[in-house]
Amino acid sequence: EAGVAQSPRYKIIEKRQSVAFWCNPISGHATLYWYQQILGQGPKLLIQFQNNGVVDDSQLPKDRFSAERLKGVDSTLKIQPAKLEDSAVYLCASSLVLTQETQYFGPGTRLLVL
Amino acid sequence: SQQGEEDPQALSIQEGENATMNCSYKTSINNLQWYRQNSGRGLVHLILIRSNEREKHSGRLRVTLDTSKKSSSLLITASRAADTASYFCATDGMGAQKLVFGQGTRLTINP
């Protein structure tokens, strides 16, 4: 069974530029999560989808971050414009159903904003 | 906000010794999970313990949960160099429908 795929693995941009991350969850997983992990901290949930609907985006900075999961499968997370404090690893995870059972994580995208 | 707080923040032991990490949380939970993260990688699920369970084992891992003290511990027995990683607890709060991760414990196993 293929795992959660993410791309790109690394990205370096200058502040005020835009960037997009892509995630393809495990086949059949209805729930998809985007986390932000700042160096030395635990992952922080940004947004959670159930199929193509948003379940929780309470910690998503909506003035600059957006995410979509149009067909209920893969998802994109966008930052526009980026700030220095957005430097972090962006992790995508998926789970079978919305019951907070095991989440399966992708390798993450490491973003550096200069 | 971080629900779980791990203790210690960093732990360094010799190969073969046991490693114990603790997690405290603030609100009532449905379950508590432990994840491992190797440097530069995504998180890997280790074990899930439900609020009505007190102890759970998986291979060299033993997890305990004390809901009266709102705390959990992860014990890794007979540690190996490959156990070097960061370990995170994550709580599924009642009514929250999402996992909240702690800050993690960085474990180093010295050969």
**Whole-angstrom Cα distance, residue A53 to residue A70?**
9
Phi and psi at B45, nearest 5°, equal -70, 135
A68-77: average pLDDT:
92
Tens digits of per-residue pLDDT, B1-52? 446 788 899 999 999 999 999 999 998 998 999 999 998 788 999 999 999 9
Contact residues for A70 (Cβ-Cβ < 8 A; gap 6+): A52
Q: Where are the beta strands (DSSP E) in chain A?
A: 5-7, 10-13, 19-24, 31-37, 44-50, 53-56, 65-68, 75-79, 88-95, 104-105, 109-113
Residue A98 pLDDT: 63
Question: In DSSP terms, which residues pair with A66 in a beta bridge?
Answer: A78
Tokens of A37: 């992990």
Closest-CA residue to A23 (of A89, A86, A90)? A90
- The answer to whether A100 contacts B30, with C-beta atoms less than 8 Å apart, is yes
Phi and psi at B36, nearest 5°, equal -115, 145
Which residue ranges make up each domain of chain A?
A: 13-97
Whether A25 and chain B come into contact, CB under 8 Å, resolves to: no
Provide the shortest C-alpha distance from residue B94 to chain A (in Å).
Answer: 11
**Whole-angstrom Cα distance, residue B65 to residue B87?**
16
- The answer to whether A45 contacts B42, with C-beta atoms less than 8 Å apart, is no
Q: How far is CA B72 from CA A28, B22, B65, B68, B105, in A?
A: 32, 6, 4, 11, 13
Nearest to A42 among B31, B92, B104 (CB): B104
**Whole-angstrom Cα distance, residue A98 to residue A88?**
26
Tens digits of per-residue pLDDT, B85-111? 999 999 988 777 788 999 999 999 999
**Whole-angstrom Cα distance, residue A82 to residue A74?**
23
Tens digits of per-residue pLDDT, A3-56? 999 999 999 999 999 999 999 999 999 999 999 999 999 999 999 999 889 999
Q: How far is CA B71 from CA A54, B25, B49, B52, B53, in A?
A: 31, 6, 12, 13, 13
Whether A104 and chain B come into contact, CB under 8 Å, resolves to: yes
Q: How far is CA B97 from CA A31, A48, A88, B14, in A?
A: 11, 10, 24, 39
Question: Which chain A residues are within 8 Å of B44, Cβ to Cβ?
Answer: 105
Residue A99 pLDDT: 58
Residue B1 pLDDT: 46
For domain A13-97, the question of CATH label 2.60.40.10 is answered with: yes
**Whole-angstrom Cα distance, residue A47 to residue A73?**
15
Q: How confident is the model at residue A100 (pLDDT cuts 50, 70, 90)?
A: low
Quick one: residue A47, left, alpha or beta (phi over 0 = left, psi -120 to 50 = alpha)?
Answer: beta
Q: How far is CA B96 from CA A32, A54, A55, B63, B93, in A?
A: 16, 14, 11, 23, 5
**Structural domains of chain B ordered from first start:** 5-110 (2.60.40.10)
Residue B5 pLDDT: 84
